[in-house]
Amino acid sequence: MAVLLSGVLTLSACGSDGGGDSSSDSARKPDSQAAIDAAAAKASSEAKVTFSAKEGQDNVSINSFSASVKKGTFTEVVLTAADSGTAVEGSFNGDKTGWKPNGQLERGTKYQVKAVAKDADGRKETVNRTFTTVSPANSFIGYFTPDDGAKVGVGMPVSINFDKAITDKAAVQSAIKVNSSSGQEVVGHWFSPTRLDFRPEEYWKAGSTVSVDLNLDGVEGADGVTGIQDKTVTFQVGRSQVSTVDAQAKTMTVVQDGKTVKTFRISAGSPETPTYNGQMVISEKFKETRMDGSTVGFVGKDGKGEYDISDVPHAMRLSTSGTFIHGNYWAADSIFGSANTSHGCVGLNDVKGAGDSGQDGAWFFNNSLIGDVVVVKNSPDKTIAPDNGLNGWNMSWEEWKAGSAI
C-alpha cells in the first residue's frame, strides 16, 4: 500500500510530464486568460485623453497647453502648480472635448494635470501628467509701445524692446506683423539686438487703425532661447498734429490736420546747451515732474545738478536722453520769444502747480497725444539720433529699410 500510494502520489505530482489530463489543463489556461482580457477590454473606456505636452517635458510653452479627448467628453480637468498647489483656472470648449487654461501659465514652473473623461457608455478614462514650462533663462519677451487700445499721434512708431539679445533677427521680425487700415507699407528696423521699431515711409494716416501681431511663441530668437508671446495689439491714430519749433525765431507753430491752430513764443536751449534739431515724438506726458540736472549730466562743481526743479509743469518727453517740451514758471514772461535759456528743453510759459488751463504750457499739454511730432529747426545743435527716443523719422526711407532683417 505504501508503494502503491507513493506511486499514485508520484503519478499525480508528475502528471504534467505526460498523461491524459495535461492537454485539458493547457487548453483551459489560454481560455481563462482570454476571458480575463475580454472582460478588461469590455470594462475599458473608449475615451482617449491626450495633452499638448508629453510626460516630463521641459520648456513647454506658457500659451499653448491644452487637453483633448476623442470618443468621449471631459468630466474634470485639474491643472495645478506642483510646488504651490495653486490651481489654474481653465475652460472647456462647447462639447467638452477640449480644455485649456484661461490665461498664460507661469514661466519655469512644474505643473501637474489630471483629466477625467467618459465615453458614450459612461466608462471613465483618467490620465495624469507632469510637465515644466519654459524658464526665464530660456525665453524672451518683447516689451512694446504703444499699448493695446491706445489713441496716438501720427508719429508713433511701434517700438519693441526685448529682454534678451536677439541673434536670429530674421526669424523674430518675420513673426511680427504690423498692418495699417491705411494700406501703408510698414517696415521694421533693428536699432540693436534688443530693439526693433516699425514705421511707414511717412507718418501714419490720421484716423487709421494699426494692428500688431506678435506671433513669437516658440520662435527661437537665440540659441536655446524662444519667444513666449502670442497676442495681437491694436491702436488708433488720432488727428494729425505736427508742431514746429524754430529755435532761432523762438516760436512754435502747431498744425492740426494741415491747418495752423496756434503759435507760441518759446524759449529753447541756450547757445551753450542747445536743443537738438530734428523730428521728435512725444513718448511720455506728466502733468508735473521733477527734473534734476545730475541725472542727465548737468552737474555743478559741488557735485549737484545745475538745476533741480521738483514740480516742472506739463512736461512731455521728446528723447531718452532728457529732452522735454514743458511749462516754465520760474523764468520771466519776457524771455519767451526773446531768449533761449534752457539746458536743451523747449519751454512754454506756465504757472507753478500746473493749475491754469489758460497758460501756453497747459494748452499744448491738453491738446497733445503721445505720438505727436515736434520738429525743431534752426538750432545750432546736431540732429537728434534716431534711436534717442522714438525718433526714427530722422532716417531716410532707404536708411530705415536697410536696417530690416527680412
- Of 134, 159, 193, the position where a domain reaches its end is 134
Residue 1 is classified by DSSP as: -
Same domain (yes/no): 85, 191: no
CATH number for position 120 = 2.60.40.3780
Residue 62 is classified by DSSP as: S
Residue 345 annotated as catalytic: yes
In whole angstroms, give the CA distance from residue 161 to residue 163.
Answer: 7
Residue 202 is classified by DSSP as: S
pLDDT number for residue 4: 37
pLDDT number for residue 130: 96
- C-alpha angle 268-271-276 in degrees, rounded to nearest 5: 55
- E strand map for 109-239: 110-118, 124-133, 139-140, 142-145, 151-152, 158-162, 176-180, 186-192, 195-200, 209-215, 220-222, 225-227, 230-237
Tell whether 227 is covered by a domain: yes
Do 346 and 266 form a contact (C-beta atoms < 8 A)? Answer: yes
Residue 140 has pLDDT above 60, yes or no: yes
- Of 117, 134, 151, the position where a domain reaches its end is 134
Q: What is the mean pLDDT of residues 155-177?
A: 98
Dihedral of alpha carbons 400, 387, 156, 270, sign: negative
Note the pLDDT tens digit of each residue in 347-388: 999 999 999 999 999 999 999 999 999 999 999 999 999 999
Same domain (yes/no): 378, 252: yes
Same domain (yes/no): 223, 201: yes
Same domain (yes/no): 247, 375: yes
What cell was used for 321? 536722453
Helix, coil or strand: residue 264: strand
CATH number for position 315 = 2.40.440.10
CATH number for position 164 = 2.60.40.3710
Same domain (yes/no): 148, 123: no
Do 250 and 337 form a contact (C-beta atoms < 8 A)? Answer: yes
Tell whether 19 is covered by a domain: no
Domain of residue 202: give its range.
138-238
**CA 302 to chain centroid:** 43
3-state secondary structure 283-326: CEEEEEEEEEHHHHCCECCCCCECCEEEEEEEEEECCCCCCEEE
Position 401 confidence tier, pLDDT thresholds 50, 70, 90: very high
Shortest CA distance to 382 belongs to which of 275, 256, 267, 241? 275
Average pLDDT of the chain is 90
Tell whether 149 is covered by a domain: yes
Which range among 7-16, 29-38, 108-117 has the greatest average pLDDT? 108-117
Do 282 and 368 form a contact (C-beta atoms < 8 A)? Answer: yes
Residue 74 has pLDDT above 70, yes or no: yes
Same domain (yes/no): 87, 206: no
135 or 292, which is more confident: 135
Contacts of 71 (CB under 8 A, 6+ apart): 46, 47, 48, 119, 120
Tell whether 2 is covered by a domain: no
Give the C-alpha distances (Å, rounded to integers) separating 72 from 80, 97, 101: 23, 7, 20
Position 241 confidence tier, pLDDT thresholds 50, 70, 90: very high
In whole angstroms, give the CA distance from residue 155 to residue 372.
Answer: 6
Determine if residue 195 is left, alpha or beta; phi over 0 gives left, psi from -120 to 50 gives alpha, anything else beta.
beta
Containing 59, the helix (H) or strand (E) segment is strand 57-60
Note the pLDDT tens digit of each residue in 82-125: 999 999 999 999 999 999 999 999 999 999 999 999 999 999 99
Q: Which of 189, 314, 326, 343 is catalytic?
A: 326
Same domain (yes/no): 107, 127: yes
Tell whether 198 is covered by a domain: yes
Q: Which of 189, 314, 343, 345 is catalytic?
A: 345
Q: What is the mean pLDDT of residues 239-268?
A: 98
Residue 313 has pLDDT above 50, yes or no: yes
Tell whether 1 is covered by a domain: no
Backbone angles phi, psi at 211, to 5 degrees: -115, 145
- Of 102, 134, 166, the position where a domain reaches its end is 134
Tell whether 110 is covered by a domain: yes
Tell whether 313 is covered by a domain: yes
Same domain (yes/no): 218, 80: no
Same domain (yes/no): 107, 154: no
Same domain (yes/no): 104, 227: no
Same domain (yes/no): 126, 248: no
With 0-12 CB in 10 A as exposed, 13-18 as middle and 19+ as buried, what is 267?
A: buried
Domain total of the chain = 3
Same domain (yes/no): 251, 301: yes
Residue 314 annotated as catalytic: no
